[in-house]
């Protein structure tokens, strides 16, 4: 009997990481999870799934030296993902150095490497949202916060190595996640999706709150984002694992921007209420680097062969509300 595939998932107790663990467990894989569990309820993100081991990040190098030879791939989802984190040294350590060290280990051991990048690398969007992966194209992007910068550093380094035809893992993949929502994001506090933050208030009969617009051409609540269900993100990752010949950095959104008003309308519809919206002023510290529009260009992923449809926003939010947010146990 052949052994099951073996994966290391960093950030495995987090939002996207735990959904990935769930999907890999359903495939019967051996999964070693690497994360800090802290003192909150994020352990519940993992509680329903069989795992092969739990490694704290400070012991990861030692673990890899002793056990890494059996891995089929490293799936690196771990990072400080708060866009308002001000400790740049901490971001550099967790997001940049840790990622490049894992890249080097995977290169040295010929282990497949998939990591989380972000749409935050696109900054205000003035340079577009095309995931062209050349050093020259990436140099045009200007992230607006330290989190986006940290992801951009890793993207640029790998792009440079690829351009020089220097050694890289046998499969290397980066995913620029856009606005992801779905189950297991509850521990993220203010970094949760607007849906998760607003659900209880809207269900209780309160109005939803959206930012006023301070830019011509965008009405209040008319700012737009590319919202994608975490289930779709995981499906793309699984597909990429099934196609080890594919390398590169790819956008991961739906390819269709939707307004916050549409998002709110979909939440009200899923709950069974008519929309009632209060518009509030945008915080001063946010106004100067607020993204009014994001929309993933998905042509490269489609050209690589991914042909599955993404969940429309209304169906995705209904699934989130009915299957998870309104359930006694909202965890996947």
* Number of other residues whose CB lies within 10 A of the CB of residue 283: 10
- Strand 258-259 to strand 224-225: parallel, antiparallel, or no bridges (unpaired)? antiparallel
Question: Could you tell me if 178 and 227 are in contact, meaning their C-beta atoms sit under 8 angstroms apart?
Answer: yes
Q: Range with the lowest mean pLDDT among 77-81, 110-114, 159-163?
A: 77-81
Give buried/exposed letters for 119-155 (b at 16+ CB in 10 A, else e): bbbbbbeeeebebebeeeebeebebbbbbbbbbbbbb
What is residue 69's predicted lDDT score, i.e. its pLDDT? 83
Give buried/exposed letters for 268-278 (b at 16+ CB in 10 A, else e): bebbeeeeeee
Nearest to 317 by CA among 265, 255, 239, 281: 265
Q: d(Cα 238, Cα 243) in Å, to the nearest integer?
A: 9
3-state secondary structure of 223: coil
Q: How confident is the model at residue 3 (pLDDT cuts 50, 70, 90)?
A: confident
What is residue 156's predicted lDDT score, i.e. its pLDDT? 98
- Beta-bridge partner residues of 78: none
pLDDT digits (tens, 9 = 90+) for 38-70: 889 999 999 999 999 999 999 999 999 998 889
* Burial (Cβ within 10 Å: 0-12, 13-18, ≥19) of residue 207: middle
Task: Quote the DSSP letter at residue 117.
Answer: E
How confident is the model over 142-158, as a mean pLDDT? 96
Point out the catalytic residue in the list 115, 147, 199, 324. Answer: 147
Q: How confident is the model at residue 1 (pLDDT cuts 50, 70, 90)?
A: low
pLDDT digits (tens, 9 = 90+) for 202-216: 999 999 999 999 899
Task: Quote the DSSP letter at residue 293.
Answer: B
Point out the catalytic residue in the list 188, 197, 218, 292. Answer: 188
Question: Could you tell me if 256 and 303 are in contact, meaning their C-beta atoms sit under 8 angstroms apart?
Answer: no
Verify whether residue 292 is a known catalytic residue. Answer: no
How confident is the model over 133-152, as a mean pLDDT? 96
pLDDT digits (tens, 9 = 90+) for 245-264: 999 999 999 999 999 999 99
Verify whether residue 188 is a known catalytic residue. Answer: yes
pLDDT at 288 over 80: no
How confident is the model over 298-313, as a mean pLDDT? 98
């Amino acid at each position: 009997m052949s052994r099951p595939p073996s994966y290391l998932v960093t950030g495995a107790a987090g939002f996207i990481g735990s959904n990935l663990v769930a999907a890999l467990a359903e495939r019967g894989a051996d999964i070693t999870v690497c994360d800090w569990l802290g003192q909150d309820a994020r352990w519940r993100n993992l509680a329903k799934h069989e795992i092969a081991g739990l490694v704290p990040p400070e012991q990861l190098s030692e673990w890899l030296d002793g056990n890494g030879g059996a891995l089929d791939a490293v799936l690196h989802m771990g990072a400080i993902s708060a866009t308002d984190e001000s400790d740049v040294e901490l971001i550099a350590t967790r997001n940049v150095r840790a990622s490049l060290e894992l890249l080097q280990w995977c290169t040295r051991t010929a282990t497949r490497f998939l990591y989380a990048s972000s749409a935050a690398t696109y900054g205000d969007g003035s340079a577009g949202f095309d995931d062209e992966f050349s050093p020259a194209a990436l140099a045009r992007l200007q992230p607006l916060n330290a989190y986006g910068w940290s992801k951009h550093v890793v993207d640029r380094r790998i792009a440079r190595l690829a351009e020089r035809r220097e050694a890289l893992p046998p499969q290397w993949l980066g995913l620029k996640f856009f606005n992801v929502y779905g189950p297991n994001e509850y521990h993220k506090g203010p970094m949760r999706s607007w849906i998760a933050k607003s659900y209880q208030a809207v269900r209780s009969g309160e109005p939803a709150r959206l930012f006023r617009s301070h830019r011509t051409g965008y009405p209040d609540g008319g700012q737009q984002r590319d919202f994608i269900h975490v289930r779709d993100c995981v499906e793309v990752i699984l597909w990429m694992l099934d196609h080890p010949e594919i390398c590169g950095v790819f956008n991961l959104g739906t390819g269709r921007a939707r307004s916050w008003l549409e998002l709110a309308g979909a939440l009200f519809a899923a709950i069974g209420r008519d929309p009632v919206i209060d518009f509030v002023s945008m915080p001063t510290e946010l106004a100067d680097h607020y993204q009014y529009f994001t929309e993933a260009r998905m042509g490269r992923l489609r050209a690589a062969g991914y042909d599955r449809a993404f969940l429309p926003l209304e169906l995705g939010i209904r699934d989130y509300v009915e299957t998870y947010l309104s359930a006694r146990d909202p965890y996947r």
